[in-house]
Amino acid sequence: MAILDSDKLVQDFPILSQEVHDEPLVYLDNAATTQKPIPVLQALEHYYRTDNANVHRGVHTLAERATISYEAVRKKVADFIHAQSTKEILFTRGTTTSLNWVAHFAEEILQPDDEVIISIMEHHSNIIPWQQVCRKTGARLRYVYLKDGELDIAGLKELIGPNTRFVSIAHVSNVLGVVNPIKEIAHLAHEVGAYMVVDGAQSTPHMVIDVQDLDVDFFAFSGHKMLAPTGIGVLYGKQELLERMSPVEFGGEMIDFVQEQTANWKDLPWKFEAGTPNIAGVIGLGAAIDYLNELGMDAVFAHEKNLVDYVFPKLQAIPGLTIYGSQDLSKRTGVISFNLDDLHPHDVATALDYEGVAVRAGHHCAQPLLTHLGASSTVRASFYLYNTPADCDKLVDALMKTKEFFNGTL
């Protein structure tokens, strides 16, 4: 396994060369979105300069080139997550759209007294669609909670039963950074005939994903969290399920033939992709996957783990700093949420920004989790492949300065 040279990699990301408030930028908001390397920027420019045309429609040279490039990315995505077929790869606007599409499928299946199980650590995108579907169908939405900062698997086993129809869980929490045992959960779901849905937004950019080994029914993720442009996402679904699933959007290109009163849909995967797609976004996603494949996802994961192993004890040593989630670093990724003394997270994040450190502050679209934790909001630092131990040191130093400033000792 190759070892990442993050000091060299950072040169591939032009945005990281700037200063903020006369301080070198240290970007630690990667769970929100990642920066884009030069190859991705070049791929977007190349498409718009040389191949800009609609896909699947024209027979002229530009349209043919655009279509070939677009569909080649579908194959790259399938290989990247180890899907069985490109028919199982749907391009969407992002994880939110992908999960809403699955919820639409669930609405066609769920009956009163059926149950959907999600966890308390879910992003709102994996809560609200299920709330709406359960409200419409009369199904019951049930939650599995935490134990020692991790998903309570014993509690989940008690919840899953003959009425369970869907289990929808984040692979990695966007607040706690904990990695959930998706393969085990999928087995539990399938034992009772339930479908397993996974929010992979925080896992796909950081680790090897094998949807066949995990044996999940649906898997959703976004491009912008893995070096690609915004506005492009993926929904993986087992082919036999996507064959049964009705389209969510209707219009051009997803049809086979339209008559005055009826229409027929195209085959998979195109029956789900109505209208002009985000072609440039797909091209950028392909370039991002090429970049990640060249580095190796095992190397990316190991690099982030080394950063967390390095910075976690340093953060723990700061008096008055509380870290949320499991203290077992073997079960964590590069997402660390914390609070400092009784300071408001927005004040802490603003102070860090003046030191050049970009972090997230707020509820991170996970209000039920924060309510469960007894916190209205937190500060979140999240690391990626271009971050360095020096970035970790800058975060710790900036937090110490922030603490001293608000305590009046600086």
Tell me the Ramachandran region of residue 210: left when phi exceeds 0, alpha when psi lies from -120 to 50, beta otherwise: beta
What is the average per-residue pLDDT within 267-273?
A: 92
What is the average per-residue pLDDT within 155-161?
A: 98
Q: Where in the chain is the domain with CATH 3.40.640.10?
A: 41-294
Output the pLDDT for position 23: 98
Is a pLDDT exceeding 70 seen at residue 409?
no
Are 33 and 15 in contact by the 8 Å Cβ rule? The answer is no
Q: Quote the tokens at residue 369.
A: 């989790």
- The span from the CA of 172 to the CA of 179, in Å, is 5
Q: Where in the chain is the domain with CATH 3.90.1150.10?
A: 6-28+296-408
- The span from the CA of 189 to the CA of 180, in Å, is 14
**40-96: pLDDT as tens digits:** 999 999 999 999 999 998 899 999 999 999 999 999 999 999 999 999 999 999 999
Any catalytic annotation for residue 134? Answer: no
What is the average per-residue pLDDT within 26-38?
A: 99
Counts for the chain of helices (H) and strands (E), in that order: 14, 19
**195-207: pLDDT as tens digits:** 999 999 999 999 9
Are 4 and 355 in contact by the 8 Å Cβ rule? The answer is no
Is a pLDDT exceeding 90 seen at residue 254?
no
- Given the residues 241, 365, 396, 400, the one annotated as active site: 365
* Type of residue at 238: K
Portion of the chain with pLDDT greater than 70, in percent: 99
- The CATH class of 6-28+296-408 is alpha beta
Is a pLDDT exceeding 60 seen at residue 242?
yes
Assessment of whether the complete model's pTM goes beyond 0.75 = yes
Q: Is 407 exposed, middle or buried (0-12, 13-18, 19+ CB in 10 A)?
A: exposed
Output the pLDDT for position 356: 99
Is a pLDDT exceeding 60 seen at residue 291?
yes
What is the average per-residue pLDDT within 139-167?
A: 98
Q: Which residue is associated with the tokens 């086993």?
A: 157
Binning pLDDT at 50, 70 and 90, where does residue 1 land? low
What is the average per-residue pLDDT within 252-258?
A: 88
Distances (CA, A) of 293 to 220, 226, 300, 352: 19, 12, 10, 33
What is the average per-residue pLDDT within 233-240?
A: 99
**310-366: pLDDT as tens digits:** 999 999 999 999 999 999 999 999 999 999 999 999 999 999 999 999 999 999 999
Query: What is the distance of C-alpha 264 from the center of its chain?
Result: 33
CATH of 41-294, one of 2.10.109.10, 3.50.50.60, 3.40.50.300, 3.40.640.10: 3.40.640.10
| Least confident residue range of 113-117, 180-184, 246-250, 284-288 | 246-250
Is a pLDDT exceeding 60 seen at residue 33?
yes
Q: How many CB atoms are located within 10 Å of the residue 135 CB?
A: 10
pLDDT averaged over every residue in the chain:
97
